[in-house]
Amino acid sequence: MSRELDGQVAIVTGGAGGIGEGICRALAGAGALVVVADLDGEGAAAVSAEIQADGGATESVRVDVTSPQEVGALVRGVASRHRRLDQMWNNAGIVQVGSLLDVSPEEWRRVFAVNVEGALFGTQAALRQMLDQQLDPTFQRRGLIVNTSSGAADRGRPMLPAYGASKAAMTHLMKSTAAAYGDQDISAVALYPSSIFEGMWKEIDVKWGELEGLPPGEMGRRRTSESLMGRYETPEEVAAIALRVAVMPGLALNGRIVVTTPSVRSF
């Protein structure tokens, strides 16, 4: 087990599966104490137990990221138990599949509540704690805040209007955080993973395919054809890049977008 993050305390929302689970495993494997936070409390506890069985240090907490009170209590509790919070990974997210004309106000608001407000509340709660703690001498920063955004933030997709708009907002939130708090030794970064054929992308593949009369798997095939890898990424591959973000000292990545696997359309 690597000890690059020895002594660091991290919270990962949406940590019960997919990319979030991968990030939890990578950070814990590098020596961080990781708080696996998710609306699925049982799932978070299961991931936490598996990491502990592998020798990692973890806790699990059920949290609704759309509640500023719950997110605030999560951060305060972690800081109370461990005296600081070094990393906040705003990773929880949902998707809505449908045309722009068909998306309902309720669907739009729900996507923004989880993706954007969840990241906002996580950022605010983390900032309050990080601004009140001393500079970490090893990492030369008071804290790191990472928003799991998406390439959909920069490229419109016809059946993902709410999702794409929410991810664009998450990226801008990161940039605003970086501009406002970089001079106080807090680094903010946006992570742009490629597609992972678990959970969310399975849902996208099925629902988008149904809307366009395509067989299961076809939307996924089209998506992976845009990737330089020619296939889906795995949570472990995304987590490996996330770990490089976590260990980068100081403000080297402040305000930056980190793309895990570029699409050919990025060039």
Catalytic residue ranges: 163
Task: Using alpha carbons, list the distances in angstroms from residue 67 to 62, 110, 169.
Answer: 12, 12, 18
Nearest alpha-carbon partner for 109 in 96, 92, 123 = 96
**Greatest CA span in the chain, whole angstroms?**
56
Phi, psi of 245 (to 5 degrees): -65, -45
**Sheet of 9-13, strand order:** 57-62, 33-38, 9-13, 87-90, 143-148, 186-192, 256-259
Helix (H) or strand (E) holding 245: helix 235-247
Q: Which two tokens stand for residue 45?
A: 């506890």
CA 3 to chain centre: 22
